[in-house]
Amino acid sequence: MLSLLSLRKQIDAGSLTPREAIALSTAAIAEHEPEIQALVSRNPVPFVAEQGPLAGIAVGVKDILDTADLPTQMGSPIYEGWRPRADAAAVARLRRLGAVPLAKTTTTAFAFLDPTQTRNPRHPGHTPGGSSAGSAAAVSAGMLPLALGTQTGGSVIRPAAYCGVVGMKPSFGLLPTVGMKCFSWTLDTLGLFTAGVADAALALAQMTGRPGIDLPTTNPGTPRIGVVLQDFCADAEPEALDALERVRAAAEAIGSRVCDVVLPAVFAEAFGFHGTIQDFEAAQALNWEYATHRANLGPLLRAHLDDAQNVSPNSYDASLKVAGRARRQLPDQFAEHDLDVILTLSAPGPAPEGYASTGDSRFNRLWTLMGVPCVTVPVGSTPTGLPLGVQVIARHGDDARALKAAHCVETLMREQNH
């Protein structure tokens, strides 16, 4: 995989030019894209800035984010060939930093569940996840050092785990969603895919103008960890649970205090209401497409929006109140158990076989609803080579702590696997 941090170090040292760095991505795309099919469109003659903290960094942009120089087609024939007049705010920020938005990556239609043609680079017979599969797969295949995705349920964390890369869903509102096709304004969150945790930390620090998010050069220390298994939803698969236990044992071996945490009932209640909130808002956000182009919606999305018409404002309002109570109580869980981060699963197991499903987001939905920063860390693979990941979660606004703990986990598991 291409490392953003490594590329920037070479550019700063003068051993690589920004144009040469972009050429590495271009060559990798030529080699891998015919098989992976992670890209929708690509700029054949991009402008390459010579200066800027992200100069030389090629970026993949999920195709629900506006780009002025490439079509934004939402994964749907309804928007085939559509050209926005302006970049989404996050894309514009990347350009100002010197990065090159080189390609649009595949998305399920309107970032829902109808699968794309993208293949999992680590195991082509298994799903790469959704809805940001193109971004995850492009980074996993070594085509891009940075790609943007979005998460409404689990569409950054899960495909990152399935494809064996780092996925970062920042705190809700930290990255702007201006210029992004909305599915649920309460839940939609812009996220990042990179080769390593340090890459994600650098990118997020630069994109937000918050240098404190970047990883410290000093020893990351021993995070205080609470393990959450979400006993209110279906059990995970043995491979995923084994990976979580390996991380626990490795953290304890370096002196981290690790404890089990059972969340109070309000979190189970909030978990159950994620769908009500999402569906009520999706029915409004996609009202024009549903009313005028229903036949051209993907079959899963079409059926879902049919049902979503029946969600009442009273149900929606009640769900928001429960979610609000859970959000207010979550900091108390960190304080009560004296935690830096929560450790849980990124997905119920490795990527499912076949392409009919993008996987299950049950270990992601609560944390998206809580608006907290989440980082998927690759932690090895099954005997058949399917990647496994764990998820590191911190308080809202504490993205730096989430990344620092994730980097600690990444370092531990890298040492263990080698």
What does the pLDDT look like over 377-398, one tens digit per residue?
A: 999 999 999 999 999 999 999 9
Q: Looking at the structure, do residues 204 and 284 belong to the same domain, yes or no? A: no
Q: What is the pLDDT of residue 204?
A: 98
Residue 202, domain CATH:
3.90.1300.10
**240 found inside a domain:** yes
Q: Looking at the structure, do residues 257 and 402 belong to the same domain, yes or no? A: yes
The tally of domains found in the chain comes to 3
Q: Looking at the structure, do residues 70 and 116 belong to the same domain, yes or no? A: yes
Q: Looking at the structure, do residues 28 and 166 belong to the same domain, yes or no? A: yes
138 pLDDT band (50/70/90 cuts)? very high
Q: Looking at the structure, do residues 88 and 141 belong to the same domain, yes or no? A: yes
Q: What is the pLDDT of residue 409?
A: 97
Q: ∠ CA 5-196-150 to the nearest 5 degrees?
A: 105
Q: Across residues 290-296, what is the average pLDDT?
A: 98
Q: In what order do the strands lie in the sheet with 225-227?
A: 39-42, 100-105, 58-62, 146-151, 189-194, 166-169, 374-381, 387-393, 341-345, 225-227, 258-260
Q: Across residues 58-62, what is the average pLDDT?
A: 98
Q: Looking at the structure, do residues 208 and 355 belong to the same domain, yes or no? A: no
80 pLDDT band (50/70/90 cuts)? very high
Contact 166, 215 (CB under 8 A): no
285 pLDDT band (50/70/90 cuts)? very high
Q: What is the pLDDT of residue 418?
A: 67
Q: Across residues 7-28, what is the average pLDDT?
A: 98
Q: Looking at the structure, do residues 408 and 285 belong to the same domain, yes or no? A: no
Q: What is the pLDDT of residue 293?
A: 98
Count of other CB atoms within 10 angstroms of residue 320: 16
Q: What is the pLDDT of residue 221?
A: 82
Q: Looking at the structure, do residues 209 and 151 belong to the same domain, yes or no? A: yes
What does the pLDDT look like over 204-254, one tens digit per residue?
A: 999 999 999 999 877 768 999 999 999 999 999 999 999 999 999 999 999
Q: Across residues 310-321, what is the average pLDDT?
A: 98
Contact 71, 29 (CB under 8 A): no
Q: What is the pLDDT of residue 244?
A: 98
Q: Looking at the structure, do residues 230 and 336 belong to the same domain, yes or no? A: yes
> Which residue range forms the structural domain that includes residue 272?
267-318
Q: What is the mean pLDDT of the chain?
A: 97
Q: What is the pLDDT of residue 107?
A: 98
Q: Looking at the structure, do residues 61 and 111 belong to the same domain, yes or no? A: yes
354 pLDDT band (50/70/90 cuts)? very high
**220 found inside a domain:** no
Q: Looking at the structure, do residues 244 and 354 belong to the same domain, yes or no? A: yes
Q: What is the pLDDT of residue 216?
A: 85
Is residue 267 over pLDDT 80? Answer: yes
Q: Across residues 178-189, what is the average pLDDT?
A: 98
Picking from 292, 318, 344, the residue at the C-terminal end of a domain is: 318
How large is the angle between the packed helices 313-336 and 265-285, nearest 10 degrees?
140
**39 found inside a domain:** yes
What does the pLDDT look like over 151-174, one tens digit per residue?
A: 999 999 999 999 999 999 999 999
The closest alpha carbon to 193, from 394, 57, 42, 17, belongs to: 57
Q: What is the pLDDT of residue 90?
A: 98
Within 8 A by CB and 6+ apart from 70, the residues are: 41, 42, 43, 61, 101, 103, 104
260 pLDDT band (50/70/90 cuts)? very high
**219 found inside a domain:** no
**218 found inside a domain:** no
Q: What is the pLDDT of residue 417?
A: 75
Q: Looking at the structure, do residues 296 and 312 belong to the same domain, yes or no? A: yes
